[in-house]
Copies of this chain bind each other. A is one copy, B any other.
């Protein structure tokens, strides 16, 4: 055996066994406690169906402060007590509120909020997605949210699956927040920068997605008897505590990379890329200590 071969053999012996890349699930499970950020109770809206189903929505005050303040006032003012889901459009949205009723807005609700469809990127701690985006100059994550990034320096929340937005009529109406919708289909990002997004469903979305589809135009239910009644929607008490994975953390960067390059044993050809809405920001209940 010549010297070179000996050297190569020694090298092979010294090299550690190739480490199996971690799956996205493993990365989330192994993320340190410091990578998780608490979601304030005031940022949690719990929608209760009269059937008992509970849907928890995380609000995004960093992106739509006036609309989020409205939603808090609406919840405290019992706006959604006795309200209903009146629209379920296949591959699109579920929508609820007091559509076309003359129920007065609770105290503190701004009747004509500004168009909080985008905000400056300046001041946002943006982690770029790292892959091409078909809709905007770029895409990334900030404060735990998926964002579309525009060439004019603006950023908007992105209409990903489970995103929650504010129903409105034609512009300049922006909606009060009293009528809300959640995305239940392929992410309709053509709506970005055209509606105020205010949050996302983080638990219980199956109570929305399994509802019968409305048969009228835009998925509205034909008969009022088909409406799905809500018991109420309230800001969370201290019992429901959730955390999201800090989108500025190394764990989150590793998670996105693993989503884009799936190495789980099922996969044969990793894509080498991922779209903004196919790397959902991990959210969990606070582990019991």
Residues of A within 8 A of B (CB): 90-91, 115, 117, 129, 131-136, 160-162, 170-171, 185-190, 192-194, 205-206, 209-213, 259-260, 262, 265-278
Residue of B whose beta carbon sits closest to that of A132: B132
Query: Would you call B209 and A135 a contact (CB within 8 A)?
Result: no
A210, A259, A271 interface centre (most CB from chain B within 10 Å): A271
Copies in the complex: 2
Q: What are 17 A-B residue pairs whose CB atoms fall within 8 Å in the complex?
A: A90-B206, A117-B269, A132-B132, A132-B133, A135-B272, A135-B274, A136-B271, A170-B265, A171-B268, A185-B186, A188-B278, A190-B270, A192-B271, A193-B271, A206-B213, A209-B209, A209-B210
Q: A117-B269, A190-B260 are in contact. List 5 more A-B contacts (CB 8 A).
A: A132-B133, A161-B186, A193-B268, A193-B271, A210-B211
In whole angstroms, what is the CA distance A106 to B192 when docked? 49
Known: A188-B278, A268-B194. A273 touches B90 (CB 8 A): no
Query: Would you call A209 and B90 a contact (CB within 8 A)?
Result: yes
- Which residues of chain B have C-beta atoms less than 8 A from A186's C-beta? 160-161, 185-187, 277-278
In whole angstroms, what is the CA distance A210 to B266 when docked? 27
Residue of B whose beta carbon sits closest to that of A171: B268
- Which residues of chain B have C-beta atoms less than 8 A from A194's C-beta? 266-269
State the Cβ distance, A222 to closest chain B Cβ, in Å. 15
State the Cβ distance, A234 to closest chain B Cβ, in Å. 24
State the Cβ distance, A279 to closest chain B Cβ, in Å. 10
- Which residues of chain B have C-beta atoms less than 8 A from A206's C-beta? 90, 212-213
In whole angstroms, what is the CA distance A169 to B85 when docked? 40
Chain A to chain B: the 4 pairs with minimum beta-carbon distance, closest first:
A132-B132, A161-B186, A131-B134, A134-B275
In whole angstroms, what is the CA distance A132 to B276 when docked? 13
Query: Would you call A135 and B275 a contact (CB within 8 A)?
Result: yes
- Which residues of chain B have C-beta atoms less than 8 A from A210's C-beta? 209-213
Residue of B whose beta carbon sits closest to that of A91: B161
Query: Would you call A273 and B135 a contact (CB within 8 A)?
Result: yes
A186, A193, A259, A274 interface centre (most CB from chain B within 10 Å): A186
State the Cβ distance, A51 to closest chain B Cβ, in Å. 13
In whole angstroms, what is the CA distance A193 to B270 when docked? 9
Query: Would you call A161 and B133 a contact (CB within 8 A)?
Result: no
Select which of B129, B132, B190, B266 is within 8 A of A259 by beta carbon: B190
Query: Would you call B135 and A190 a contact (CB within 8 A)?
Result: no
